[in-house]
Amino acid sequence: MIVVAIVAILVSIAVPLLRTHYEKAKLTELTGSMSATAAAVAAYYQDNYVFPPVAQTSVRMIATTLGVAIPQGSLTRISSVNVAANTGAITFVIQNIGDTVDGSSLVLTPTTSTEGSIMWNWSASAGFPNDLVPKR
């Protein structure tokens, strides 16, 4: 009986931790695509000294304008994409990861310096778990 109680306690601790790690692993597809898009936006900025002047609101537009292939379809982790016009802010809406994050957005926002370097900052929509927001 004591062994059953100990196992129950361990399971009650392990399951939430396992779920968090499972969601973090699934988020890598999304964050990898966002990072590749950020590199392309940065290259555009370095070549033209401005961010793309037209919003990139689909996977096809991003592929055509920025040359980044983003996984698409109902089985991917990405519901929708957007690269904001003139600011370069990248927003991806999440799907097929877990109840705590599905429908939420991850945002990658550039900040430029006077020397032309770009620093990217991660943020998320309200209610997104802080421990799942990527760090710099």
| Domains annotated on the chain, with CATH | 2-132 (3.30.700.10)
User: CA separation (Å) from 127 to 8, 28, 80?
Assistant: 30, 19, 18
- Global pTM reads 0.85
Side chain identity, residue 94: I
Query: Would you put residue 106 in left (φ > 0), alpha (ψ -120 to 50) or beta?
Result: beta
pLDDT at position 57: 93
Q: pLDDT tens-digit profile of 34-87? A: 999 999 999 999 999 999 999 999 999 999 999 999 988 767 889 999 999 999
